Amino acid sequence: MDNGPKPRKLEPGMTASPLTPGQRLDAVRERIARAAAESGRATADIRLLAASKTFSAAVVRDLAVCGQREFGENYVQEALEKQRELRDMPLEWHFIGPIQSNKTRPIAEHFSWVHSIDRLKIAERLSAQRPAGSPPLQVCIELNVSGEASKGGVSMNELQELADRVATLPGLTLRGLMAIPAPAPGLAEQRAAFRQVRAAFDALVRHGHALDTLSMGMSGDLEAAILEGATIVRVGTALFGERVHLV
Ligand SMILES: *Cc1c(COP(=O)(O)O)cnc(C)c1O
């Protein structure tokens, strides 16, 4: 008989990381601080958004107790359940996943930010469905920087027209751009993709848009993103461990 400790079976929503939530949070904050210092920027100008898709409300709570306040979610139903379980915590919720038009109402009602605006119809619905008593929904347009047809986001060609339209919608405040470049092996390649996002952002500002947000950089490339001007990094794996089921 083998009476040794049984390996814990990992269920969706649990995390396999041997570090404590506080240690993982410190490590990510350290990476952000180092990249900020290297680029001559203030650490306080870069916000950490914890991308918590697939992780349970209990796991989110453990990180929130360590001081993390902003969480990004990709799936409406999953997010609403977590928000309900965590309503005693002062958290800010960002929607960062693809948006189907039949899901805009709960997003408009239950989130502070949306990073993944990629067509006018979605923006119009979110604006119309934003509750009258709430501040405008803070939004970013998702830019498809790698030109991959399978990926979300608008092309460079469509960006300015969409930005001009979104900026007129009363229920929304256009804050900037979000991008998820294709994974690249080295820092130079990663920086090149983020630099394109930054250039598109600068062009919109020159065109008259008052923007302050570049949502770019994830666990594998947040340093490159910060070096190119990211103001929000969206980090999942480095904070929570590997996701058990693929998304
Ligand atoms: C999951 C996700 C992230 C986080 O990715 P990691 O590589 O796990 O850090 C960031 N942004 C979006 C839109 C995501 O869906």
pLDDT of 4 over the 60 cut: no
Residue 8 forms part of a structural domain? no
* Per-residue pLDDT at 247: 47
pTM: 0.93
* Per-residue pLDDT at 201: 98
Tens-digit pLDDT profile for residues 212-244: 999 999 999 999 999 999 999 999 999 999 987
* Per-residue pLDDT at 240: 96
Euclidean distance between CA atoms 68 and 217, whole angstroms: 17
Tens-digit pLDDT profile for residues 167-183: 999 999 999 999 999 99
Query: In the chain, how many domains are there?
Result: 1
Q: How confident is the model at residue 120 (pLDDT cuts 50, 70, 90)?
A: very high
Tens-digit pLDDT profile for residues 13-64: 777 678 999 999 999 999 999 999 999 999 999 999 999 999 999 999 999 9
Strand-pair partners of 54:
none
Residue 16 forms part of a structural domain? no
Residue 68 forms part of a structural domain? yes
Compute the distance from residue 118 Cα to the ligand 1 centre, in Å: 17
Tens-digit pLDDT profile for residues 181-215: 999 989 999 999 999 999 999 999 999 999 999 99
Residue 186 forms part of a structural domain? yes
Residue 12 forms part of a structural domain? no
Residue 245 forms part of a structural domain? no
Range of the domain at 150: 21-240
Compute the distance from residue 215 Cα to the ligand 1 centre, in Å: 11
* Per-residue pLDDT at 17: 75
Atom of ligand 1 nearest to the CA of 53: 1
| CATH number of the domain where residue 84 is located | 3.20.20.10
Residue 5 forms part of a structural domain? no
Q: Choose which residue among 117, 140, 218 to substitute to test ligand 1 binding: the one with the highest number of ligand atoms within 8 A of its C-beta.
A: 218
Long-range CB pairs of 69-77, under 8 A, 24+ apart, other chains included: 70/94, 72/96, 72/115, 72/234, 73/97, 74/98, 74/247, 76/103, 76/106, 76/107
